[in-house]
Structure formats: C-alpha cells, structure tokens
Amino acid sequence: MVQYVRPAGPRLEFIPPMLPTLAARPPEGGEWIHEIKYDGYRTQIAIGNGECHAFTRNGYDWSLKYRNICARALELGVQSAILDGEVIILGTEGHPDFKALRSAITTAQERLVFVAFDLLHLDGHDLRRMHLVERRALLEDLVPEDGPIQFSASHEGDAGAFFREVDRAGLEGMVSKRADGRYLSGRVADWLKIKCFTEDDLQVLGVVGRPGQATQAILADGEGRYVGKAAVTLVSAQRERLWARVKERPGAMPEGLPKDVQKEKADWLAPGLVGRVKFLRGEEWLRHATLRAVSEG
C-alpha cells in the first residue's frame, strides 16, 4: 500500500494525454502490466476548488455532457485530482458499445461509465514522475467499488495469454504499459496498444488500381455508408472474379463519399458485390483492412 499525505491545493488544468503506440503483438517480459482497451472516449477528469471538469482527448470541456460522472467525482473525497481514463457504455453482453455511446451522451447519461486507469495529480501533488504502479495504487484506493466511476483492473504475467482471452471475449484489444513508467504527454513506446482483428461482410463500391498491381477496394456498410478501404488480398480465382465483375457490371460513383475518395481514379461497380473483410476492431474507419473474398449479395 502506498502511503500518501494529503495537502490542500486545487488543480484544474488540462494535461495533454499519454497515448499508446500501435504494436503488432503483445510485449514479452515481466516489466509490463496489461489492461483491456476500452472502446469509448478518452477523458480526463479534473477536480479542484469544489468543481469538476471533464476534458476530451483534445482538451475540450465536456463537463455538461458528463454531468453524472462529474457529480460522482466530487464525492471522491479529494480536494484536487486529475484522473485519466475512458468514458464508455456497456452493451447487452457487458462489453463496451461505442455506437450506443454516442447517443447515450445526450439521451442516457445514467448509463455512462468512466473507467479510470491513471492518476496524474492528487491534492496539489504532481504524480507524473512516479512509477505507473504507484500512481495506480493511489488511484485504486481513490475509486469506489461501484458506480459511474470504476477502476481499470490490470493483468500481470503472460501477455499473450491475456491477449487471447481479450480476443475470445470479442473486445477491441489490450494496452500494455511499463510498470515503472512515468506519465509523458504524447505518443510513446512505454504504452503499447495491441488490437484484435475481426471480419465482416461489406459492400464493394469500387476498386482502385489495375489487374496485376496493388489494388484497394472501396467499401461501405450494409446501409451504404462509406467505411474505408481494404487491400485486395484475394486468391487467384477470386481476383479474376473481381476483375470480371469490374468489366461486366460497371456503375456510377455513389453519393456521399468523402472528397478525397471522390477524387480517386476508381472503377465503380454496380451494387451487389459483397466482400469479406478483415480489419482492426473498434476503429471508426477501416484500419489494416484486407479484402479476403468476394461474392454476389
């Protein structure tokens, strides 16, 4: 247990957050702790002088949007503190539901949860030079066992096994952090995010490239909304089928595409071609995506 003396002193200023670097696989070694990567909005809770402010990742004040969380933060029994974490909403399976989060901010405040994973300041003390595990020990003592503010539990030991459990649970991924690391604003290698892949069937709107060259498919969701691009990694027979489809059933460029996509020299397709796409979970747009199969919908 970390011993801590609590002096007075408000602290309300926003601090640019520490950001993880994307890694292909979990790190090895015992110097890391591992947490679930929550699919929500990165948020900083600043308490001081009898007030609570909730800041977005870019420093915008969303205190009114998160008024329930701020009200609970004022009951933590501190004179001043800055907590780093993620605002989420839990779906029907108990997993973070990013799509539901957007509407819940305005229609269901009571469902919002702030998952705290770091403590930057406490009662006038700057904790950012302390080791992560020391900061988290203070944070765990501070956060109640239930309610809209929760503590992000960590795992120590086999990072690969933890990642496999996260993947099987259908979660977005994990974050590995150096146990003795200091808090440094910006993107750093002391925090690594390892994301899980998922697959889904998406509409193929068009293709950028030519046969025999590196090509990308332009994709939309089931409602026709553009979601991004994917590298075409089809086996030979499927690749031939794709190019035959491009030639035999051309189409017009769909409406509502981003301006940069509208400028692409693409072969647009008539509706109906469905692609099986592998991509990183929990991203607003497709990322590290590959087109693995095509069929007529």
Tokens of 273: 């071609």
Q: Say if strands 197-208 and 216-220 run parallel, antiparallel, or are unpaired.
A: antiparallel
For residue 232, the Cα-to-chain-centroid distance in whole angstroms is 25
Q: 268 to each of 151, 233, 246, how far by Cα in Å?
A: 48, 19, 7
Query: Long-range pairs for 105-111 at CB < 8 Å and ≥24 separation?
Result: 105/65, 105/66, 106/65, 109/66, 109/67, 109/68, 110/68, 110/148
For residue 150, the Cα-to-chain-centroid distance in whole angstroms is 18
Specify whether the CB–CB gap between 65 and 87 falls below 8 A.
no
Which one of 37, 65, 177, 229 is the catalytic residue? 37
Residue type, 77: G
Known catalytic membership, residue 37: yes
Terminal alpha carbon distance of the chain? 59
Query: Is residue 37 classed as helix, strand or coil in its secondary structure?
Result: coil
Residues acting as catalytic residues: 37
